[in-house]
Amino acid sequence: MNRRKFLTILGSAGVVSALGTAKVAEASVHTFPYYDDSYGVLHDTTRCIGCRRCEEACNKVNHLRKPSKPFSDLSVTATRRRTSAYEWTVVNKYEMNGKPVFRKLQCFHCNDPACASACFAKCFQKQPDGSVTYDGSQCVGCRYCMVACPFYVPGFQYDEAFDPLVQKCTFCEPRLKEGKLPGCVEACPVDALTFGRRSDLIKVARARIADNPGKYVNYIYGEFDAGGTAWMVLAPAAEGAAVPPDDPALAGPDLKQLGLDTHLGNRPMGELTYGALGAVPMIVAFWPVLFGGAYAMTKRREAMSQLEQEKMAREAKDDVAAAVDAAVRKIEETEGEGAAERARRAMTEALKAREAEAACSKHGEDK
Ligand code: SF4
Ligand code: SF4
Ligand code: SF4
C-alpha cells in the first residue's frame, strides 16, 4: 500500500477493525454520532490530471454498467456531468487562471448526511469508518434522499423495471473492511487522492497550504461545509490573489470556479433536512416528487398489502406535513408572517394538486 495515498498504515488488521475503539463524540451540533477516528479522502485538485482512472477503477471494483464511451475518452470531462446510478464518480474539467483544473465528484460522505435524515425507511447509515452506506432492502423508492442531498449525488435506477434502487459511491466500504484502499484512490497515478483519518487529512491539507504560499485557496472544502464531510477538496488559488481567502465568502469565487457550492453553511445539513427538508423553495419545487414518490412507492407497491400501502402513505403525508410546519415556522422567524403564509399556501396547493393526480392515476390502475 502506498504511504502517500494512505496516511495511516494499519497493517493487515485492516482499516475498519482499527475503528473498533473509535471514540464516538456526541457533539451537540451533530444530528448523527461523530466518529473522531473516521476516515476520509482529500482530493487535491492541483494534482489531478483528469485522466479518469478513478472513474474506471470505480466502475470495475463496483461492477457497474459499462459506459457508452470508453474511459480513455477524456473529452467527456468538458461536460458538467453529475453522478448517476451507474456512474458513482465523475471527473469534470473547469477553468482557472486560463488553465484546466479537474475535480472528481462523488458522495462526500457527510458527517451529518442529509440523505439519511430525509429517509424515513432508514436506508442510509453513517458508519464509524466515515462512509455513508445505503441498504436498499427497505427502500420504497420515494427519492427523498435525492432531493435532500446538497451535492445532488444519489442516482436512481429509473430504467430498472423491478426494484429500482438508489445508488451512490459507497466509499468502497467492502474494500475498507478487507484493509484495502478505495478503488479510485488506489488507481490515481498522481496521488491526487489521499486516504487517511479525516483529522490527519485536515492537517495534511493545512500543511500543503502553508508550504505553498499562493498555490492553494486557504480553505479546505468539506472541513466545515454542510456540517463537515469525509471527502474534502483542496482548490488552486486564483492568480494574483494578494491574500488567500480563508472563509467561504472570500474563497467563494475561487471555489465556485470548480463548481463547489459555497452557500451551504457550516450547519449540518441533516439538521435542516430533518426538520424542514431543507429550504421551502425546494419543498415547493419537489413536492410532487416527494409526495408522489412516497404515495406511489414505485414498483414496490405491488408487493405491499393494501393496509401497508395506506399506512405508509399516511406516515409519508404526516412527515411532509410536519416538514411544512417546520419550514413555515422557519420562514416566519426569518422573513415574517406574510412570507410564511404565502409559502404555506403554495405548499398546500401543490399538495392538493398532487393528491388529485395520485387519486386519478390510482383510479386508472384500479380499473
Ligand atoms: S447527503 Fe449526499 S453527499 Fe452527503 S452523504 Fe448523503 S448522498 Fe453523500
Ligand atoms: S470510494 Fe469506491 S465507490 Fe466511491 S468513488 Fe471511489 S471507487 Fe467509487
Ligand atoms: S485518477 Fe487521479 S488524476 Fe486521474 S482523474 Fe482521477 S483523481 Fe484525477
Question: Does 302 lie in the same domain as 215?
Answer: no
* Residue 273: per-residue pLDDT: 53
Q: Mean of the pLDDT values across residues 55-76?
A: 97
Residues 105 and 193: their CA atoms lie apart, in Å, by: 12
Q: Which ligand is nearest to the CA of 93?
A: 3
Question: Does 80 lie in the same domain as 143?
Answer: yes
- The answer to whether 114 touches 80, Cβ cutoff 8 Å, is no
Ligand 1 atom showing the smallest separation from residue 108 Cα: 3
Distances (CA, A) of 287 to 27, 164, 324: 32, 21, 10
Lowest mean pLDDT among 17-31, 51-65, 99-113, 249-263: 17-31
Question: Does 301 lie in the same domain as 261?
Answer: no
> What ipTM was predicted for this assembly?
0.96
Residues 176 and 202: their CA atoms lie apart, in Å, by: 20
Q: How many domains does the chain have?
A: 2
Question: Does 198 lie in the same domain as 53?
Answer: yes
Residues 81 and 51: their CA atoms lie apart, in Å, by: 15
Question: Does 283 lie in the same domain as 230?
Answer: no
Q: Is the CB of 182 under 6 A from ligand 2?
A: yes
Question: Does 337 lie in the same domain as 211?
Answer: no
Distances (CA, A) of 64 to 106, 184, 251: 15, 14, 36
- Residue 239: CATH number of its domain: 3.30.70.20
Residues 279 and 143: their CA atoms lie apart, in Å, by: 17
The 10s digit of each residue's pLDDT in 297-309 is: 444 445 556 676 6
Q: How far apart are the first and last CA of the chain?
A: 61
Helix (H/G/I), strand (E/B), else coil: 126: strand
Question: Does 233 lie in the same domain as 295?
Answer: no
Helix (H/G/I), strand (E/B), else coil: 9: coil
Q: Is the CB of 119 under 6 A from ligand 1?
A: no
In sequence order, the β-bridge partners of residue 44 are 234
Question: Considering only CA atoms, which residue is closest to atom 3 of ligand 3?
Answer: 48
Question: Does 216 lie in the same domain as 180?
Answer: yes
Identify which of 11, 2, 6, 37 has the alpha carbon closest to the alpha carbon of residue 23: 37
Q: Is the CB of 108 under 6 A from ligand 1?
A: yes
Q: Residue 193's Cα: distance from chain center in Å?
A: 18
Residue 272 falls inside a structural domain? no
Question: Does 246 lie in the same domain as 285?
Answer: no
* Residue 129: per-residue pLDDT: 96
**Which residues are within 8 A (CB) of 68 and not within 5 positions of it... i.e. 6 or more apart?**
none
Q: φ, ψ for residue 91 (rounded to 5)?
A: -115, 125
Identify which of 224, 308, 212 has the alpha carbon closest to the alpha carbon of residue 262: 224
Question: Considering only CA atoms, which residue is closest to atom 6 of ligand 2?
Answer: 184
The 10s digit of each residue's pLDDT in 243-275 is: 667 677 777 788 889 999 988 888 776 665 544
Question: Does 313 lie in the same domain as 219?
Answer: no
**What's the whole-number average pLDDT of the chain?**
79
For a pocket test of ligand 3, which of 54, 81, 169 has the largest count of ligand atoms closer than 8 A to its C-beta? 54
Helix (H/G/I), strand (E/B), else coil: 103: strand
Residue with the larger pLDDT of the pair 147 and 183: 183
Kindly report the number of other CB atoms within 10 A of residue 321's CB atom: 13
- Using the predicted structure, report yes or no on whether residue 14 has a pLDDT greater than 70: no
Residues 145 and 294: their CA atoms lie apart, in Å, by: 12
Residue 271 falls inside a structural domain? no
Q: Which of residues 215, 242, 266 is at a domain's end?
A: 266
For a pocket test of ligand 2, which of 83, 172, 177 has the largest count of ligand atoms closer than 8 A to its C-beta? 172
Q: How far does residue 72's CA lie from ligand 2's centre (Å)?
A: 18
Residue 26 falls inside a structural domain? yes
Question: Considering only CA atoms, which residue is closest to atom 3 of ligand 2?
Answer: 169
**Which residues are within 8 A (CB) of 164 and not within 5 positions of it... i.e. 6 or more apart?**
141, 156, 157, 158, 298, 299
**Which residues are within 8 A (CB) of 9 and not within 5 positions of it... i.e. 6 or more apart?**
1, 3
Confidence of residue 276 (pLDDT cuts 50, 70, 90): very low
The 10s digit of each residue's pLDDT in 21-45 is: 333 333 334 567 778 799 999 999 9
Domain assignment of residue 227, given as a range: 1-266
Q: Is the CB of 167 under 6 A from ligand 2?
A: no
Residues 243 and 233: their CA atoms lie apart, in Å, by: 20
**All cell numbers assigned to 136:** 436498499
Residue 261 falls inside a structural domain? yes
Q: DSSP states of 216-277 as a string?
A: EEEEEETSSGGG-BSEEEEEEPPTT-SS---SHHHHHHHHHTTT----S-SS-HHHHHHHHS
DSSP tag of 75: G
Ligand 2 atom showing the smallest separation from residue 62 Cα: 3
Question: Does 229 lie in the same domain as 149?
Answer: yes
Q: Is the CB of 221 under 6 A from ligand 1?
A: no
Q: How far does residue 6's CA lie from ligand 2's centre (Å)?
A: 15
Q: Which ligand is nearest to the CA of 102?
A: 3
Identify which of 59, 41, 1 has the alpha carbon closest to the alpha carbon of residue 186: 1
Residues 119 and 75: their CA atoms lie apart, in Å, by: 36
**All cell numbers assigned to 318:** 404526516
Q: Is the CB of 193 under 6 A from ligand 2?
A: no
